[in-house]
Chain A
Amino acid sequence: MIYWANDIYRVGWGDKTLVKFFPDWFYSVFNLDSHLANGMAFHFFFMWFFFLNGTVYVLYTIISGEWRLLVPNRRSFKEAWQVLLHDLHIRKYEPPSDKYNAAQKIAYTSIIIMGFGSLLTGLSIYKPVQFGWLCTILGGYEWARIEHFVLTIGYVIFFLIHIIQVIIHGWNNFQAMVTGFELKKVKSVPIAENKTTEEIPAK
Protein backbone atom coordinates (compact mmCIF):
# COMPACT_ATOMS: atom_id res chain seq x y z
CA MET A 1 0.00 0.00 0.00
CA ILE A 2 2.79 2.30 0.91
CA TYR A 3 4.59 1.97 -2.40
CA TRP A 4 1.92 3.15 -4.77
CA ALA A 5 3.29 6.58 -5.55
CA ASN A 6 6.54 5.40 -7.04
CA ASP A 7 7.17 2.06 -8.63
CA ILE A 8 10.73 2.06 -7.46
CA TYR A 9 10.92 -1.71 -7.12
CA ARG A 10 11.32 -3.89 -10.16
CA VAL A 11 12.85 -7.13 -11.28
CA GLY A 12 14.99 -6.69 -14.36
CA TRP A 13 18.39 -5.74 -15.67
CA GLY A 14 19.65 -2.54 -17.26
CA ASP A 15 16.69 -0.78 -18.78
CA LYS A 16 14.78 -4.00 -19.21
CA THR A 17 12.05 -4.50 -16.64
CA LEU A 18 10.60 -7.95 -16.19
CA VAL A 19 8.15 -7.19 -13.41
CA LYS A 20 7.53 -3.83 -11.81
CA PHE A 21 6.08 -3.47 -8.34
CA PHE A 22 3.35 -3.04 -8.81
CA PRO A 23 1.75 -3.50 -12.21
CA ASP A 24 -1.20 -1.20 -12.93
CA TRP A 25 -3.76 -4.00 -12.65
CA PHE A 26 -2.64 -4.55 -9.06
CA TYR A 27 -3.75 -1.06 -8.04
CA SER A 28 -7.06 -1.24 -9.83
CA VAL A 29 -7.94 -4.71 -8.53
CA PHE A 30 -7.30 -3.73 -4.92
CA ASN A 31 -8.58 -0.18 -5.37
CA LEU A 32 -5.35 1.29 -4.05
CA ASP A 33 -4.67 4.09 -6.49
CA SER A 34 -3.89 7.41 -4.83
CA HIS A 35 -4.38 6.03 -1.35
CA LEU A 36 -0.91 6.64 0.01
CA ALA A 37 -1.98 8.54 3.13
CA ASN A 38 -4.61 5.92 3.83
CA GLY A 39 -2.13 3.12 3.30
CA MET A 40 0.43 4.69 5.59
CA ALA A 41 -2.16 5.29 8.31
CA PHE A 42 -3.19 1.62 8.22
CA HIS A 43 0.45 0.57 8.06
CA PHE A 44 1.43 2.51 11.18
CA PHE A 45 -1.74 1.38 12.96
CA PHE A 46 -1.46 -2.34 12.28
CA MET A 47 2.29 -2.43 12.86
CA TRP A 48 1.46 -2.49 16.57
CA PHE A 49 -0.76 -5.57 16.13
CA PHE A 50 2.00 -7.21 14.13
CA PHE A 51 4.52 -6.42 16.85
CA LEU A 52 2.28 -7.42 19.77
CA ASN A 53 0.99 -10.56 18.08
CA GLY A 54 4.51 -11.67 17.24
CA THR A 55 5.76 -10.95 20.73
CA VAL A 56 2.92 -12.86 22.40
CA TYR A 57 3.36 -15.81 20.03
CA VAL A 58 7.11 -16.04 20.59
CA LEU A 59 6.67 -15.73 24.36
CA TYR A 60 4.04 -18.47 24.27
CA THR A 61 6.26 -20.88 22.36
CA ILE A 62 9.08 -20.22 24.82
CA ILE A 63 6.98 -20.53 27.99
CA SER A 64 5.03 -23.58 26.82
CA GLY A 65 8.11 -25.29 25.44
CA GLU A 66 6.47 -25.58 22.04
CA TRP A 67 9.54 -24.07 20.49
CA ARG A 68 11.18 -27.49 20.74
CA LEU A 69 8.70 -28.80 18.20
CA LEU A 70 9.17 -25.79 15.92
CA VAL A 71 12.89 -25.19 15.71
CA PRO A 72 14.56 -27.30 13.01
CA ASN A 73 17.37 -29.67 13.93
CA ARG A 74 20.34 -31.14 12.06
CA ARG A 75 18.18 -33.59 10.08
CA SER A 76 15.53 -31.05 9.17
CA PHE A 77 17.14 -29.66 6.05
CA LYS A 78 17.60 -33.08 4.50
CA GLU A 79 14.12 -34.15 5.53
CA ALA A 80 12.57 -30.92 4.27
CA TRP A 81 13.78 -31.86 0.81
CA GLN A 82 12.04 -35.22 1.15
CA VAL A 83 8.89 -33.44 2.30
CA LEU A 84 9.02 -31.27 -0.77
CA LEU A 85 9.43 -34.28 -3.08
CA HIS A 86 6.60 -36.03 -1.27
CA ASP A 87 4.29 -33.00 -1.49
CA LEU A 88 5.01 -32.63 -5.17
CA HIS A 89 4.11 -36.34 -5.60
CA ILE A 90 7.58 -37.09 -6.91
CA ARG A 91 8.23 -39.52 -4.11
CA LYS A 92 5.74 -41.82 -2.38
CA TYR A 93 7.69 -42.32 0.83
CA GLU A 94 6.39 -40.03 3.57
CA PRO A 95 9.23 -38.49 5.54
CA PRO A 96 9.26 -38.71 9.34
CA SER A 97 7.27 -36.14 11.24
CA ASP A 98 6.39 -35.36 14.84
CA LYS A 99 3.92 -32.55 15.40
CA TYR A 100 5.41 -30.70 12.44
CA ASN A 101 7.43 -32.14 9.59
CA ALA A 102 10.86 -30.81 8.71
CA ALA A 103 9.62 -28.43 6.04
CA GLN A 104 7.06 -27.00 8.42
CA LYS A 105 9.69 -26.53 11.10
CA ILE A 106 11.89 -24.59 8.72
CA ALA A 107 8.97 -22.55 7.42
CA TYR A 108 7.52 -21.71 10.83
CA THR A 109 10.89 -20.78 12.25
CA SER A 110 11.85 -18.70 9.19
CA ILE A 111 8.64 -16.75 9.37
CA ILE A 112 9.49 -15.69 12.92
CA ILE A 113 12.95 -14.62 11.87
CA MET A 114 11.39 -12.79 8.92
CA GLY A 115 8.95 -11.08 11.27
CA PHE A 116 11.80 -9.93 13.41
CA GLY A 117 13.57 -8.74 10.27
CA SER A 118 10.49 -6.79 9.25
CA LEU A 119 10.40 -5.04 12.61
CA LEU A 120 14.04 -4.02 12.33
CA THR A 121 14.01 -3.02 8.65
CA GLY A 122 10.67 -1.32 9.19
CA LEU A 123 11.90 0.71 12.12
CA SER A 124 15.06 1.66 10.25
CA ILE A 125 13.17 3.07 7.25
CA TYR A 126 10.38 4.56 9.37
CA LYS A 127 12.87 6.59 11.44
CA PRO A 128 16.14 6.47 9.49
CA VAL A 129 17.52 9.50 11.33
CA GLN A 130 16.67 8.62 14.93
CA PHE A 131 17.65 4.98 14.25
CA GLY A 132 20.47 5.85 11.87
CA TRP A 133 22.76 3.19 13.36
CA LEU A 134 20.19 0.50 12.57
CA CYS A 135 19.79 1.82 9.05
CA THR A 136 23.56 1.67 8.58
CA ILE A 137 23.78 -1.91 9.86
CA LEU A 138 21.10 -2.94 7.39
CA GLY A 139 23.05 -1.50 4.48
CA GLY A 140 21.64 2.02 4.33
CA TYR A 141 18.22 3.47 3.65
CA GLU A 142 17.72 2.11 0.13
CA TRP A 143 18.84 -1.39 1.05
CA ALA A 144 16.72 -1.46 4.18
CA ARG A 145 13.71 -0.47 2.10
CA ILE A 146 14.37 -3.29 -0.36
CA GLU A 147 14.85 -5.77 2.49
CA HIS A 148 11.57 -4.69 4.06
CA PHE A 149 9.81 -5.07 0.74
CA VAL A 150 11.33 -8.46 -0.09
CA LEU A 151 10.29 -9.76 3.35
CA THR A 152 6.75 -8.59 2.64
CA ILE A 153 6.71 -10.46 -0.66
CA GLY A 154 8.01 -13.43 1.34
CA TYR A 155 4.91 -13.32 3.58
CA VAL A 156 2.64 -13.27 0.57
CA ILE A 157 4.35 -16.38 -0.79
CA PHE A 158 4.23 -18.05 2.64
CA PHE A 159 0.54 -17.18 2.93
CA LEU A 160 -0.34 -18.58 -0.49
CA ILE A 161 1.54 -21.85 0.07
CA HIS A 162 0.03 -22.09 3.54
CA ILE A 163 -3.53 -21.68 2.26
CA ILE A 164 -2.98 -24.12 -0.59
CA GLN A 165 -1.53 -26.70 1.81
CA VAL A 166 -4.44 -26.27 4.22
CA ILE A 167 -6.93 -26.81 1.40
CA ILE A 168 -5.05 -29.87 0.10
CA HIS A 169 -4.84 -31.47 3.54
CA GLY A 170 -8.54 -31.28 4.18
CA TRP A 171 -10.86 -30.83 7.11
CA ASN A 172 -9.12 -33.02 9.70
CA ASN A 173 -5.95 -31.06 9.30
CA PHE A 174 -7.82 -27.77 9.51
CA GLN A 175 -9.59 -28.93 12.64
CA ALA A 176 -6.21 -29.81 14.09
CA MET A 177 -4.93 -26.32 13.33
CA VAL A 178 -7.76 -24.89 15.37
CA THR A 179 -7.79 -27.38 18.24
CA GLY A 180 -4.13 -28.27 18.33
CA PHE A 181 -4.39 -32.08 18.45
CA GLU A 182 -4.92 -33.82 15.18
CA LEU A 183 -2.48 -36.66 15.66
CA LYS A 184 -4.18 -37.89 18.77
CA LYS A 185 -7.61 -37.72 17.32
CA VAL A 186 -7.02 -39.34 13.96
CA LYS A 187 -4.65 -42.01 15.14
CA SER A 188 -5.86 -42.76 18.63
CA VAL A 189 -9.49 -43.20 17.79
CA PRO A 190 -8.99 -46.46 15.88
CA ILE A 191 -6.79 -47.69 18.72
CA ALA A 192 -9.48 -46.84 21.22
CA GLU A 193 -12.00 -48.74 19.13
CA ASN A 194 -9.74 -51.75 19.01
CA LYS A 195 -9.36 -51.66 22.73
CA THR A 196 -13.07 -51.43 23.22
CA THR A 197 -13.76 -54.45 21.05
CA GLU A 198 -11.07 -56.39 22.84
CA GLU A 199 -12.19 -55.39 26.22
CA ILE A 200 -15.91 -55.87 25.99
CA PRO A 201 -15.70 -59.67 26.04
CA ALA A 202 -13.42 -59.45 29.02
CA LYS A 203 -16.05 -57.72 31.09
Chain B
Amino acid sequence: MKKKELKEVETTSRNIKKRTIISFSVFFVLLVAGFWGWKWLNRQEESDGALKPLRTVLNANEKVNDIFFSKNHLVKEYPKSKAEKDVRVNGDIGMGDNFDATKWKLNVARHPESNSPDSMLLISLDEIMKLPYKDMTFNFKCIEGWSQITNWGGVKFSDFLTHYHLGTHSGKAPDPNHPEDMYKYVGLMTPDSAYYVGIDMKSIMHPQTILAYNMNDSILPDNQGYPLRLIIPIKYGIKSIKRIGYIYFSDTRPKDYWFEQGYDYDAAL
Protein backbone atom coordinates (compact mmCIF):
# COMPACT_ATOMS: atom_id res chain seq x y z
CA MET B 1 0.00 0.00 0.00
CA LYS B 2 2.67 2.44 1.02
CA LYS B 3 4.83 1.40 -1.89
CA LYS B 4 2.01 2.22 -4.27
CA GLU B 5 1.60 5.67 -2.78
CA LEU B 6 5.27 6.33 -3.21
CA LYS B 7 5.16 5.33 -6.83
CA GLU B 8 2.25 7.66 -7.42
CA VAL B 9 4.22 10.59 -6.09
CA GLU B 10 7.13 9.74 -8.32
CA THR B 11 4.93 9.56 -11.40
CA THR B 12 3.46 12.90 -10.56
CA SER B 13 6.81 14.59 -10.19
CA ARG B 14 7.97 13.04 -13.45
CA ASN B 15 4.79 14.31 -15.05
CA ILE B 16 5.43 17.71 -13.64
CA LYS B 17 8.85 17.74 -15.20
CA LYS B 18 7.51 16.55 -18.54
CA ARG B 19 4.67 19.02 -18.59
CA THR B 20 6.96 21.85 -17.59
CA ILE B 21 9.28 21.08 -20.47
CA ILE B 22 6.41 20.82 -22.96
CA SER B 23 4.79 24.00 -21.69
CA PHE B 24 7.99 26.00 -21.85
CA SER B 25 8.77 24.62 -25.30
CA VAL B 26 5.38 25.71 -26.59
CA PHE B 27 5.79 29.06 -24.85
CA PHE B 28 9.20 29.57 -26.38
CA VAL B 29 8.09 28.49 -29.86
CA LEU B 30 5.14 30.91 -29.73
CA LEU B 31 7.44 33.68 -28.53
CA VAL B 32 9.86 33.10 -31.39
CA ALA B 33 6.99 32.68 -33.88
CA GLY B 34 5.46 35.96 -32.76
CA PHE B 35 8.76 37.79 -33.01
CA TRP B 36 9.61 36.22 -36.34
CA GLY B 37 6.10 36.84 -37.68
CA TRP B 38 6.35 40.51 -36.83
CA LYS B 39 9.73 40.77 -38.57
CA TRP B 40 8.39 38.87 -41.57
CA LEU B 41 5.35 41.12 -41.82
CA ASN B 42 7.44 44.27 -41.83
CA ARG B 43 9.78 42.83 -44.46
CA GLN B 44 6.94 42.39 -46.99
CA GLU B 45 6.62 44.55 -50.06
CA GLU B 46 4.03 47.26 -50.23
CA SER B 47 0.96 47.24 -52.41
CA ASP B 48 -0.50 50.74 -52.88
CA GLY B 49 1.20 52.06 -49.78
CA ALA B 50 0.25 49.18 -47.48
CA LEU B 51 2.29 46.07 -46.65
CA LYS B 52 0.99 43.30 -48.89
CA PRO B 53 -0.52 41.04 -46.19
CA LEU B 54 -2.24 44.07 -44.67
CA ARG B 55 -3.54 45.10 -48.10
CA THR B 56 -4.92 41.59 -48.62
CA VAL B 57 -6.80 41.80 -45.33
CA LEU B 58 -8.05 45.34 -46.04
CA ASN B 59 -9.47 44.09 -49.34
CA ALA B 60 -11.02 41.10 -47.60
CA ASN B 61 -12.55 43.41 -44.97
CA GLU B 62 -14.26 45.31 -47.78
CA LYS B 63 -15.85 42.08 -48.98
CA VAL B 64 -17.10 41.40 -45.45
CA ASN B 65 -18.53 44.90 -45.29
CA ASP B 66 -20.24 44.32 -48.62
CA ILE B 67 -22.28 41.55 -47.00
CA PHE B 68 -23.73 44.04 -44.54
CA PHE B 69 -24.20 46.86 -47.02
CA SER B 70 -27.72 47.93 -47.77
CA LYS B 71 -28.98 51.00 -49.55
CA ASN B 72 -31.64 51.13 -46.86
CA HIS B 73 -29.05 51.78 -44.16
CA LEU B 74 -29.27 55.53 -44.00
CA VAL B 75 -27.04 58.02 -42.28
CA LYS B 76 -28.87 59.84 -39.50
CA GLU B 77 -30.08 63.25 -40.64
CA TYR B 78 -30.36 66.20 -38.28
CA PRO B 79 -32.51 69.33 -38.33
CA LYS B 80 -30.78 72.08 -40.28
CA SER B 81 -30.48 74.19 -37.14
CA LYS B 82 -27.92 71.70 -35.78
CA ALA B 83 -25.52 72.32 -38.65
CA GLU B 84 -22.19 73.93 -37.80
CA LYS B 85 -21.77 77.38 -39.32
CA ASP B 86 -17.99 77.31 -39.05
CA VAL B 87 -17.36 74.34 -41.32
CA ARG B 88 -13.98 72.74 -41.06
CA VAL B 89 -11.69 72.91 -44.10
CA ASN B 90 -9.43 69.92 -44.25
CA GLY B 91 -7.73 69.53 -47.59
CA ASP B 92 -6.76 71.54 -50.62
CA ILE B 93 -5.20 68.94 -52.91
CA GLY B 94 -6.53 69.49 -56.42
CA MET B 95 -7.63 73.02 -55.56
CA GLY B 96 -4.79 74.76 -57.39
CA ASP B 97 -4.78 78.52 -57.96
CA ASN B 98 -5.02 78.60 -61.73
CA PHE B 99 -8.63 77.56 -61.90
CA ASP B 100 -11.09 79.62 -63.90
CA ALA B 101 -14.54 79.02 -62.47
CA THR B 102 -16.20 80.97 -65.28
CA LYS B 103 -15.02 78.39 -67.80
CA TRP B 104 -15.89 75.41 -65.64
CA LYS B 105 -18.08 72.66 -66.97
CA LEU B 106 -18.46 69.16 -65.67
CA ASN B 107 -16.79 66.68 -68.04
CA VAL B 108 -18.45 63.28 -68.07
CA ALA B 109 -17.14 60.35 -70.08
CA ARG B 110 -20.04 58.05 -70.80
CA HIS B 111 -17.82 55.05 -71.40
CA PRO B 112 -14.23 54.22 -70.60
CA GLU B 113 -11.60 54.23 -73.36
CA SER B 114 -13.86 55.97 -75.82
CA ASN B 115 -12.68 59.26 -77.26
CA SER B 116 -15.60 59.87 -79.58
CA PRO B 117 -17.10 63.34 -79.09
CA ASP B 118 -20.60 62.04 -78.37
CA SER B 119 -19.14 59.95 -75.58
CA MET B 120 -18.12 63.12 -73.74
CA LEU B 121 -20.70 65.20 -72.01
CA LEU B 122 -20.18 68.81 -70.87
CA ILE B 123 -22.62 69.96 -68.23
CA SER B 124 -22.91 73.45 -66.77
CA LEU B 125 -23.73 74.24 -63.17
CA ASP B 126 -27.01 75.86 -64.23
CA GLU B 127 -28.13 72.61 -65.82
CA ILE B 128 -27.26 70.65 -62.69
CA MET B 129 -29.14 73.16 -60.55
CA LYS B 130 -32.32 72.43 -62.52
CA LEU B 131 -32.36 68.83 -61.28
CA PRO B 132 -34.39 67.90 -58.15
CA TYR B 133 -32.88 69.43 -55.02
CA LYS B 134 -31.80 67.41 -52.01
CA ASP B 135 -30.91 69.11 -48.76
CA MET B 136 -29.11 67.13 -46.07
CA THR B 137 -27.68 67.72 -42.60
CA PHE B 138 -25.57 64.90 -41.24
CA ASN B 139 -22.48 64.11 -39.20
CA PHE B 140 -19.57 64.39 -41.63
CA LYS B 141 -16.90 61.89 -40.54
CA CYS B 142 -13.23 62.33 -41.23
CA ILE B 143 -10.85 59.39 -41.35
CA GLU B 144 -8.56 61.42 -39.06
CA GLY B 145 -11.02 61.01 -36.23
CA TRP B 146 -13.05 64.21 -36.07
CA SER B 147 -16.65 64.60 -37.13
CA GLN B 148 -18.89 67.59 -37.61
CA ILE B 149 -22.59 68.11 -38.29
CA THR B 150 -22.82 70.00 -41.55
CA ASN B 151 -25.47 70.97 -44.09
CA TRP B 152 -25.23 70.44 -47.84
CA GLY B 153 -27.51 70.80 -50.81
CA GLY B 154 -27.44 69.56 -54.38
CA VAL B 155 -28.69 66.76 -56.56
CA LYS B 156 -28.78 63.10 -55.68
CA PHE B 157 -26.11 61.32 -57.67
CA SER B 158 -28.66 58.68 -58.69
CA ASP B 159 -30.99 61.37 -60.06
CA PHE B 160 -28.06 62.88 -61.96
CA LEU B 161 -27.19 59.51 -63.53
CA THR B 162 -30.82 58.81 -64.36
CA HIS B 163 -31.34 62.22 -65.94
CA TYR B 164 -28.30 61.98 -68.22
CA HIS B 165 -28.53 58.21 -68.82
CA LEU B 166 -25.12 57.60 -67.33
CA GLY B 167 -23.34 54.74 -65.62
CA THR B 168 -24.63 51.95 -67.81
CA HIS B 169 -23.05 49.89 -70.57
CA SER B 170 -26.23 50.19 -72.65
CA GLY B 171 -26.50 53.98 -72.34
CA LYS B 172 -29.90 53.69 -70.70
CA ALA B 173 -30.77 55.18 -67.34
CA PRO B 174 -29.48 53.00 -64.48
CA ASP B 175 -32.07 50.49 -63.38
CA PRO B 176 -31.68 48.82 -59.98
CA ASN B 177 -33.34 45.75 -61.48
CA HIS B 178 -30.51 45.43 -63.97
CA PRO B 179 -27.36 45.80 -61.91
CA GLU B 180 -25.38 43.90 -64.57
CA ASP B 181 -25.89 46.82 -66.97
CA MET B 182 -24.25 49.24 -64.55
CA TYR B 183 -20.55 49.96 -64.45
CA LYS B 184 -19.04 48.74 -61.19
CA TYR B 185 -17.24 51.99 -60.35
CA VAL B 186 -17.38 55.72 -60.80
CA GLY B 187 -14.19 57.77 -60.96
CA LEU B 188 -14.09 61.46 -60.07
CA MET B 189 -11.22 63.88 -60.55
CA THR B 190 -10.42 67.56 -59.92
CA PRO B 191 -9.92 69.79 -63.01
CA ASP B 192 -6.14 69.74 -62.47
CA SER B 193 -6.21 65.91 -62.00
CA ALA B 194 -4.33 66.28 -58.71
CA TYR B 195 -7.02 64.69 -56.55
CA TYR B 196 -9.06 61.73 -57.60
CA VAL B 197 -11.33 59.13 -56.04
CA GLY B 198 -12.98 55.90 -57.09
CA ILE B 199 -16.33 54.83 -55.67
CA ASP B 200 -18.32 51.63 -56.13
CA MET B 201 -21.61 52.01 -57.97
CA LYS B 202 -23.74 50.76 -55.06
CA SER B 203 -22.46 53.59 -52.88
CA ILE B 204 -22.85 56.15 -55.66
CA MET B 205 -26.49 55.08 -56.08
CA HIS B 206 -27.14 55.41 -52.33
CA PRO B 207 -29.99 57.89 -51.77
CA GLN B 208 -27.80 60.14 -49.60
CA THR B 209 -24.95 60.52 -52.08
CA ILE B 210 -25.19 63.97 -53.61
CA LEU B 211 -23.43 66.28 -56.03
CA ALA B 212 -23.43 69.37 -53.83
CA TYR B 213 -23.29 73.02 -54.87
CA ASN B 214 -24.70 74.46 -51.66
CA MET B 215 -23.48 74.58 -48.09
CA ASN B 216 -25.67 76.11 -45.37
CA ASP B 217 -28.08 77.26 -48.07
CA SER B 218 -25.57 79.33 -49.97
CA ILE B 219 -23.26 78.54 -52.84
CA LEU B 220 -20.14 76.50 -51.94
CA PRO B 221 -17.17 78.56 -50.78
CA ASP B 222 -14.00 78.08 -52.87
CA ASN B 223 -12.26 76.13 -50.11
CA GLN B 224 -15.22 73.75 -49.92
CA GLY B 225 -14.95 72.89 -53.59
CA TYR B 226 -16.84 75.50 -55.60
CA PRO B 227 -18.55 74.96 -58.00
CA LEU B 228 -19.42 71.29 -57.44
CA ARG B 229 -18.29 68.67 -54.94
CA LEU B 230 -19.31 65.21 -53.89
CA ILE B 231 -20.94 64.56 -50.52
CA ILE B 232 -21.09 60.88 -49.71
CA PRO B 233 -22.08 60.37 -46.04
CA ILE B 234 -21.68 56.58 -46.14
CA LYS B 235 -17.92 57.00 -46.59
CA TYR B 236 -15.17 58.91 -44.85
CA GLY B 237 -14.63 62.50 -45.97
CA ILE B 238 -11.63 61.58 -48.13
CA LYS B 239 -14.12 60.31 -50.72
CA SER B 240 -16.14 63.54 -50.77
CA ILE B 241 -14.00 65.09 -53.48
CA LYS B 242 -14.09 68.87 -53.87
CA ARG B 243 -14.25 70.78 -57.18
CA ILE B 244 -15.12 67.92 -59.51
CA GLY B 245 -13.78 68.35 -63.03
CA TYR B 246 -14.22 64.89 -64.48
CA ILE B 247 -16.52 61.94 -63.96
CA TYR B 248 -15.98 58.60 -65.65
CA PHE B 249 -17.15 55.01 -65.33
CA SER B 250 -15.28 51.75 -65.12
CA ASP B 251 -15.61 48.09 -64.28
CA THR B 252 -12.27 48.12 -62.51
CA ARG B 253 -11.24 50.27 -59.58
CA PRO B 254 -10.52 53.82 -60.75
CA LYS B 255 -7.36 55.29 -59.27
CA ASP B 256 -7.80 56.75 -55.83
CA TYR B 257 -5.52 59.27 -54.15
CA TRP B 258 -5.61 58.02 -50.57
CA PHE B 259 -5.78 54.38 -51.55
CA GLU B 260 -2.37 54.87 -53.14
CA GLN B 261 -1.20 56.25 -49.79
CA GLY B 262 -2.08 53.01 -48.01
CA TYR B 263 -5.71 53.49 -46.96
CA ASP B 264 -8.40 50.95 -47.73
CA TYR B 265 -10.14 51.49 -51.05
CA ASP B 266 -13.76 51.78 -50.06
CA ALA B 267 -13.38 53.92 -46.88
CA ALA B 268 -16.91 52.79 -46.14
CA LEU B 269 -18.79 53.56 -42.95
**Interface of A toward B, CB cutoff 8 Å:** 2-3, 5-6, 8, 36-38, 40-42, 44-45, 48, 127-132, 141-142, 145, 175, 178-181, 184-185, 188-189, 192, 195-196, 199, 202-203
Closest to A43 in B: B54
Contacts of A189 in B (CB 8 A): 13
B262 and A37 form a contact (CB under 8 A): yes
A128 and B51 form a contact (CB under 8 A): no
A195 and B5 form a contact (CB under 8 A): yes
Which 7 residue pairs of A and B lie closest in terms of their CB atoms, listed nearest first? A5-B144, A37-B262, A179-B23, A41-B54, A6-B145, A130-B68, A129-B269
B172 within 8 A of A: no
Contacts of A131 in B (CB 8 A): 68
* Min C-beta distance of B92 to chain A, whole Å: 16
Q: Which of A127, A179, A199 contacts B65 (CB 8 A)?
A: A127
A130 and B70 form a contact (CB under 8 A): yes
Q: Which of A2, A180, A195 contacts B145 (CB 8 A)?
A: A2
The CA-CA distance from A149 to B84 in the complex, in Å, is 25
Given A5-B143, A130-B269, A185-B16: 15 more A-B contacts, CB < 8 Å: A6-B144, A6-B146, A37-B262, A37-B263, A41-B264, A44-B58, A45-B54, A127-B68, A132-B76, A141-B139, A178-B23, A181-B19, A192-B12, A192-B13, A195-B5
B24 and A178 form a contact (CB under 8 A): yes
The CA-CA distance from A153 to B3 in the complex, in Å, is 56
B68 and A48 form a contact (CB under 8 A): no
Contacts of A188 in B (CB 8 A): 12
Instruction: Name the residue among A40, A41, A132, A203 with the largest chain B CB count within 10 angstroms.
Output: A41
The CA-CA distance from A188 to B15 in the complex, in Å, is 13
A-B contact pairs, 11 of them (CB 8 A): A5-B145, A36-B144, A38-B50, A40-B263, A41-B54, A48-B57, A129-B74, A130-B269, A142-B147, A195-B6, A202-B2
